[in-house]
Amino acid sequence: MMLDYQTRKSPAIDESNLQARIPIAEPTIALFHCIDLIDDFLDSIQISFETFCEEFIGSWMFGYINALKLAGVRTVLFCISAQVSEPTRFTHLPTGTTICVLPTTRVYRAYRSLRRTSLSMYGGEGAETFRGIQDSNTLRHYLLTPLKDIAKSIGTYLSTPLPLLIQELRREGCQAILCQEYEYARFDASVLLGRLINLPVFATFQGGDKTKSWLEVPWRWLAFHGCKGVIISTQSEVQRVCDRYSIPPTKIAKIYDPMDTQTWRPIDRAEARVALDIPGDAKVVVCHGRIDFYRKGFDILLEAWAQLCRDRPHQDMRLLLVGTGPDSDKLRQHIAAMQLRGIMWRDEFIHDRYLIRQYLSAANVYTLASRQEGFPIAPIEAMACGLPVVAADAPGGPDIFEGGEDAGGVVVPRGEPNALATAIGKVLDNQTLEIKLGETARKRVEQYFSPEGVGIQLRDFLLTH
């Protein structure tokens, strides 16, 4: 990804006016992106930085930002990039939020180049070393994976430009730091930074429930005990953190990710199906998001879909898949190998909310087959659009659907395609149940995930805790 600033003048902030608007009257929170470089994140979802600034809203980050804005709190999103040479500001047009892009450190640039060269050698030409050893690919993976994990940890520590961050945090008048994920090395660096300038540091749980390498273990312990608090929306993760890091429950806030129910609402099903060329009498299941084959359980979903189609040989069955990701080729190969019918896949990242709502509104039921989640946003978007949900019991699912059908969803054991197929089939075959669950799902989102309510909870925890 290249940040071509000559073509992105519209979202950039005029630096000449910056001093005039700082200090800011309203309280300000700094939100730190956890990935080493924003470049890598955008490459993984295949969008440009321009699109990120002008259109991107498909993330918990901007949900938090919007909720805090409604509660009277300003947020500045801090990202690190190898494509800039000095701090540069942009505006995220959908929310009006400032995005401050900082250059990564020179040490990190050199380290990243060295790491790429070394790992390429040992994973490529270096494979000659293992010739003649049985199952050399497995052995290579076993030996190299810990080294790669350590290398990634070192990289994240080195990528964070602490002196520049201190300068820009003061310039923006930030009163607290909120990190995306605590099981990332940037959380450790952020707590150190917070201690240096006496700023409280918080972190959220968005799916990272494992320390990346043993190198991080001692620093993570110190970070958990040095931070002000963490936001965790799933009870299983609350228990894990308390057991592993021995922090008091008073440091943990159970706050759900917000959902804008004014933006996310149903479209007439018949209208949506006409637009997508789907017959009115078809039975439609939908799933949208990043294509991460194993983590998102696409192998389980495909097996369940094969069973659903076998059990309904005369029914027009449609599986709508919306999204792309690093495992798109793998998913495509599995679909072809299994010779599945009725699959309609939009293999691209879609940031047009109306178009996503069309796909959701065209369906009878939403499904999430994930093995691992943090607090999944996609099924809540579906619930807001009036869809019943069948979800695996990955972290987050049982919390969203606490109460089962009374919360608008059905939760099944993860990794079990038969259970997933049976639950989906139960909803598809019972229109009364489908309507009831869909209405209940919408009501649950309105009651528990409104940005107004979540914004107040976030403001109180981050600024008065």
pLDDT tens track for 222-266: 999 999 999 998 888 999 999 999 999 999 999 998 988 888 999
Contact 364, 275 (CB under 8 A): no
| Tokens linked to 248 | 């008091």
SS3 call for 28:
strand
Identify the CA nearest to 64 among candidates 253, 211, 240. 253
Domains 5-105+160-258+455-464 and 269-448 share a fold: yes
CATH superfamily of domain region 5-105+160-258+455-464: Glycogen Phosphorylase B; (3.40.50.2000)
| CA dihedral sign of residues 329, 331, 337, 339 | negative
Q: Which fold has domain 269-448?
A: Rossmann fold (3.40.50)
| Tokens linked to 115 | 């790491």
- Rounded Cα distance, 334 and 163, in Å: 48
Identify the CA nearest to 225 among candidates 196, 182, 176. 182
The DSSP-derived string for 105-157 is PHHHHHHHHHHHHHHHHHHTGGGGGGTTSTTHHHHHHHHHHHHHHHHHHHHHH
Q: What pLDDT tens digit does each residue of the chain (465 aa) get?
A: 445 433 333 344 444 433 334 445 789 999 999 989 999 989 888 889 999 999 888 778 999 999 999 999 999 999 999 999 999 999 999 999 999 999 999 999 999 888 766 655 444 433 333 333 334 455 555 556 777 888 888 988 999 999 999 999 999 999 999 999 999 999 999 999 999 999 999 999 987 888 888 999 999 999 999 999 999 988 889 999 999 999 999 999 999 989 888 889 999 999 999 999 999 999 999 999 999 999 999 999 999 999 999 999 999 999 999 999 989 999 999 999 999 999 999 999 888 889 999 999 999 999 999 998 877 889 999 999 999 999 999 888 888 888 778 888 999 999 999 999 999 999 999 999 999 999 999 999 998 899 999 999 999 999 987
| Tokens linked to 162 | 């602490």
* Domain locations along the chain: 5-105+160-258+455-464, 107-156, 269-448
> At how many degrees (to 10) do helices 269-276 and 353-361 cross?
110
* pLDDT tens digits along 19-68: 334 445 789 999 999 989 999 989 888 889 999 999 888 778 999 999 99
